[in-house]
Structure 1
Amino acid sequence: MCGRFALSMPHAETARIFAASPANDLPDVPNWNVCPTNQIPCVISASGSRRLGAMRWGFVPRWYGSPNDGPLLINARAETVATKPAFRDACRSRRCLIPATGFYEWTKDADGKRLPWYFHPVGAELLAFAGIWQGWGPDRIPTCAIVSTAAGPTMAEVHHREPVTLAPEDWPLWLGEDGTGAAALMTAAPEGRMARHRVSTKVNSNRASGADLIDPLLEDASD
Structure 2
Amino acid sequence: MCGRFALLATIDEVEAHFGVIVDAAFPPRYNISPTQPVMIVMAGETPAPGSNRPERLAMLVRWGFVPSWTKDPLNFPLMINARSETAHEKPSFRTAMEHRRSLLPASGFYEWRKAGNGRKQAYWIRPRNGGMVAFGALMETWVSGDGSQMDTAAILTTASNAALSHIHARLPLVIRPEDYQQWLDCKRNRAKDVRHLLKPVQDDFFEAIPVSDKINNARYFGADVHERAEELPLQPVKDAAQAGKAASRKKADDNDDQLCMF
For Structure 1 versus Structure 2, the TM-score category normalised by the shorter chain is over 0.9
Shift of 1:127: 1.1
CA distance in 2, matches of 1:142, 1:2: 19
- The percentage of aligned residue pairs carrying the same residue is 34
Shift of 1:13: 1.8
- Aligned counterpart in structure 2 of residue 188 of structure 1, from 192, 200, 211: 200
Aligned residue in 1 for 2:150:
141
CA deviation profile, 1:141-187 (whole Å, cap 9, x unmatched): 21000000111112201000110011100111110276342121111
**Structure 2 portions without partners, runs of 5+:** 47-53, 233-262
SS in 2 for 1:155: coil
CA deviation profile, 1:61-81 (whole Å, cap 9, x unmatched): 112223322110100001210
Shift of 1:38: 0.4
TM-score, normalized by length of structure 1? 0.92
Contact 2:173 2:199 (8 Å CA) reproduced: yes
Map 1:100-119 → 2, pairs under 5 A: 100-119=106-125
Q: Which amino acid aligns with 2:59?
A: G
TM-score, normalized by length of structure 2? 0.79
The total of aligned residue pairs comes to 218
- Aligned counterpart in structure 2 of residue 202 of structure 1, from 214, 218, 225: 214
CA deviation profile, 1:186-223 (whole Å, cap 9, x unmatched): 11111211111100011011111111112221469xxx
CA distance in 2, matches of 1:119, 1:136: 32
Contact 2:121 2:231 (8 Å CA) reproduced: no
SS in 2 for 1:20: coil
**Structure 1 portions without partners, runs of 5+:** none
CA distance in 1, matches of 2:105, 2:155: 11
Within the alignment, does 1:215 sit opposite 2:227 as a pair?
Answer: yes
Q: Which amino acid aligns with 2:37?
A: Q
- Aligned counterpart in structure 2 of residue 78 of structure 1, from 73, 84, 106: 84
Q: Which amino acid aligns with 2:155?
A: I
SS in 2 for 1:156: coil
Aligned residue in 2 for 1:44:
42
Q: Which amino acid aligns with 1:13?
A: E
Aligned residue in 1 for 2:135:
129
Q: Which amino acid aligns with 1:200?
A: S
**Higher share in helix:** 2
Contact 1:129 1:165 (8 Å CA) reproduced: yes
Distance 1:86 1:212, change over 3 A: same
Runs of 4+ in 1 over 6 A off after TM superposition: none
Q: Which amino acid aligns with 1:92?
A: E
Distance 1:19 1:93, change over 3 A: same
182-191 or 87-96: bigger deviation: 182-191
Aligned residue in 2 for 1:64:
70
Aligned residue in 2 for 1:179:
189
